Amino acid sequence: MASSTNIKVVCRFRPPNALELREGGDIVVAFDENLQTVQMKNSQAVSGPEKDGFTFDRVFPMGTKQHEVFDYGVKDIVKDVLDGYNGTVFAYGQTGSGKTFTMMGADIDSSDLKGIIPRITEQIFKSIVESDSHLEYVVKVSYLEIYLERIRDLLAPQNDNLQVHEEKSRGVYVKNLSDYYVSSAREVYEIMRQGGAARVVTSTNMNAESSRSHSIFLITIQQRNTETGAQKSGNLYLVDLAGSEKVGKTGASGQTLEEAKKINKSLSALGMVINALTDSKVKHIPYRDSKLTRILQESLGGNSRTTLIINCSPSQYNESETLSTLRFGIRAKSIKNTARVNAELSPLELKGLLSKAQLANTRHLSYIQSLEAELAIWRAGGHVEPSEWTSADKPTTGAAAAKKATSSPTLSTTRSMTPVNPILEGLRSEIIIDSRPQTPTVVGLDKDEREEFLRRENELSDQLAERESLLNAAEKLTKELREELAYLKEQEAAASKENKSMSTQLNELRLQVERLDYDNKEGIITIDILKEQNQDAKSELEELKKVITDLRSTQRDASAEDKEKRKQEKMALMMAKFDAQGTFSEKDEQLRQLLAKLDTIDTADALSTLSVDDIVAARRQLTESHSLVRETVDRLRQSQEENEMVTRRRDELEARFLSLEADYEELLEKTIHDEETSNADIVESMAEFKNKLEMQYAAKRDANISEVADLKQQLELKSNEIRTLNASIDSLKSVNEELKV
C-alpha cells in the first residue's frame, strides 16, 4: 500500500573554518533545547515567522558526530529500501559547508570519520546477513555525476552525455549507465574510491577541494522470497550536490566560473521544483528544466522516502548563504511523497486476489441483477414496497431476481449502462504487477497518451544526445581548428618575420657577394701583377744563377791553373833544393857522355881504347852516381811523403774552402733574401704570399658560394612552407566558413 509522508529534513552546522575566523566570523545561530529549531541572531533579513526560528525534524549543532546524523536521519531509510521502497538521501548547502564530508566522510576506513554512504553500505549488508534464510538479495551499485549539465558515468568515464529516460515499468532512469554487482561493503568501497577519483573537483577560496559536479551513488536492492516467490526491489539514491556559490567569495574565473554558472542554474531549477511542489496553485512541476531534477523526480513528490540534509555555516561571514539554505529546507519540508512498495506478487498471492475478486464479482453481479429487475418494475409502472427494495447489504434472492428479470423487457439495455464498480477497480489496482505509482508528469494526458508521450520523449532525448554529441564534436573540432589556425597564424607571422629577416640577410649577403666579387676582381688583378712580377723575378733569378755558375766555373778554372802553376813552381823549387850545386846535372851529363861514347865504339875496341883511369873514374863516377841516386831516392821519398802531406792538407783546405764557399753562398743567398724581403722582391716570399692569397681567396670564395647556395635552398624551403601554410589557411578558412554555416 502507498503511504504519504513529508520529506524528512535535518540541518547540520559545521564548525567555523580558518577563513571565517580570519574574517571575524562570529557565531550567528542559536539552537533550542530539543535541537529542532535554529534561530538567526541579529539578522536584518529575518522577519515575520522566521524570527521565531526555523524548525526541522532535527538540528545538529557544531561538533556533531557522523554516526549521530546517520542514526537519526538515514538509518530508517535503509530499512525501507530493504522492504521494497525507493529511498533518497541528498545533501544541500553552499560550497564548503560540509556536504561531501557528510555524505562520504574524510576517511571511509575510519569508524569516526566515514560518512553516510559507507555507513549505509555497512547497514545494508548487515541487515542482509541478519535477515531470514528464505530471503535472497541481489545488490548492485552505479555511480554518476552531472557536470556542466552532462551526465557522466564515473565507473566508465568514457560514457559521457548519458540521457534520462522514463518508462512505466522502471520509472525515471539513466540510459546506458553501468552497474556492478557487489557482495560486501569492501567491494562497494573500492567502487566508491574508483568513482571518486574520476569526479571533477577544484580549489577555490572557500575550500581546497570543491565539488564541481553533482554526484549520485545508486544502490539497487532486489529481494526474493524463496518460499512464496514474491519479489521486491528498492532503489536508494545517495546524492552529493555541488555547492551554491558566490563568485565574489570563491574567486572563480575561467572554466571554474562556467562550472559555477551551471551549478547555480541546476540548483535554481531544484528550488523552482520545490516551490512548485509546495504551491497548490501551480499545476506544472518543471522537472525537465534540469538533469538533476529529472533524475530526482521521484524523490521530490514521487515514489520515494526522502531525507534532505541541509549543511550550513554558523559564521556571520556566510550569514546570507546560511539563511538562504534554511529557507530552502523549510520549503522542502512541506513536500509530500507517496512511497509504495515495488513488489511483484507471488502466484499464491495472485490466486488469492483472483478468488477474492471472483467472489466480489459474483456478489456484485447478483446485486446488479436485483437492481435491474427492480428498475424494470418501476419503468413498467409497477410499484415495489420499500421493504422489498434492493440494497447492497440485502440483495434479493435468485428466484425473485429471475422473476423480476423475466417480467422486465429492458434488462439487456440497462445492463450496458451499468457504471464501473469502484471496488473492482481497487482490486484490479492491487493485482497489477507493476505497483509503482505514476511519477509526476504532464497533466491532462490519459494512459495511452502518457505512454506515447514518454516514448516520444525518450526518442527525442536520444536524438538530442546524438545532436549534442555531434555538436560537441563539432565544437571540439572548431576549437582545435581555431587553435590550429591561431598556431598557423603565429607560424605565418613568425615565418613572415623570419622571411623579412632572411630577406635582409639575403640583401646583406648579396652586398657581401658583390663586395667579394669586387675583391675577387681586385685579387685577380693583383695576382696577375704578382705573376708578372714573379715572372720577372724568375728571369732575374735565372740570370743571377747563370752569373753565379759562370763565376763558380771561372773560379774553378782559375784555381786549377793556380794549382798547376804552384805545383810546377814547387817541383822546380824542390829540384832546385835537390841539386843546389848542379852536381846531379853535372854527373848526369858525364854519365850520359860516357854511355854515349860506349855506344859509339865497338866491343873489341872498347878495352883498347879505354884506359884504367877512365875505368876507375867511370867506376868512381858510377859509385858516386849510385850514392847520389840513393840519396836522391831518399829525398824523393821524403819529398813524396811531404807531397802526400801537402796533398792531404790541400784536400783539407779544399774541403774547408768548399764549406766556406757554401757558407759564403748561403750567406750570399741569405743576404740577397734579406735584401729581397726588405725590398718586397724575394721570389720565394712572393710565391708563398701568392699561394697563401690564392688559397685564402679560394676558401673564402667556396665558403661564400656554399653559404649562398644554402641560403638559397633555405629560402626556397621557407617559400614552399609559406605556400603550404597559405594553402592550409585557405582550406581551414573554408572549413570554418562551412562550420559557421
Q: Which residues are annotated binding-site positions for ATP?
A: 93-100
Beta-carbon neighbour count of residue 120 at 10 Å? 24
Q: How many CB atoms lie within 10 A of CB 168?
A: 14
What residues pair up with 343 in beta bridges, in sequence order?
Answer: 232
CA-wise closest residue to 635 among 718, 676, 576, 679: 576
Residue type at 222 in one-letter notation: Q
CA angle, residues 167, 236, 343, in degrees to nearest 5: 60
Task: State how far the alpha carbon of 307 is from the alpha carbons of 50, 535, 538, 654, 681, in Å.
Answer: 22, 117, 119, 136, 115
- Report the binding-site residues: 93-100
Q: Which amino acid is at 530?
A: L
Of 159, 160, 158, the closest CA to residue 149 belongs to 160
Measured CA distances, 641 to 630, 634, 645, 647 (Å): 16, 10, 6, 9
CA angle, residues 183, 185, 187, in degrees to nearest 5: 65
242 touches 200 (CB < 8 A) = no
| Contact predicate 120/109, CB 8 Å | no
Q: Please say whether the beta carbons of 210 and 243 come within 8 A.
A: yes
The three-state secondary structure class of 222 is strand
- From 548, 546, 545, 549, select the one nearest 683 (Cα to Cα): 545
Q: Which amino acid is at 475?
A: E
Decide if 114 contacts 108 (C-beta within 8 A).
yes
Closest by CA position to 693, among listed 532, 541, 520: 520
Strands 164-167 and 171-174: antiparallel
Say if residues 417 and 394 touch (Cβ distance below 8 Å): no
Q: What would the grid cell of residue 481 be?
A: 581548428
Whether residue 328 contacts residue 311, with contact meaning beta carbons closer than 8 Å, is answered with no
Distance CA 124, CA 734 (A): 60
- Residue 340 and residue 337: Cα distance in Å, rounded? 10
| Grid cell in block for residue 493 | 607571422
Please say whether the beta carbons of 105 and 115 come within 8 A. Answer: yes
φ/ψ bin of 301: left (φ > 0), alpha (ψ from -120 to 50), beta (otherwise): left
What does the alpha-carbon distance between residue 365 and residue 183 come to, in Å, rounded to a whole number? 53
Question: What string of DSSP letters covers 349-411?
Answer: HHHHHHHHHHHHHHHHHHHHHHHHHHHHHHHTT----GGG---SSSPPPHHHHHHHHHT-TTH
Cα diameter, the chain: 246
Contacts of 595 (CB under 8 A, 6+ apart): none
Cell reading at 282: 501551480
Please report the beta strands in 132-206, taking only residues with DSSP state E, as ranges in sequence order. 135-147, 150-153, 160-162, 164-167, 171-174, 180-182, 201-202
Q: How many other CB atoms are there within 10 angstroms of residue 481's CB atom? A: 16
> The cell 511483484 sits on which residue?
344
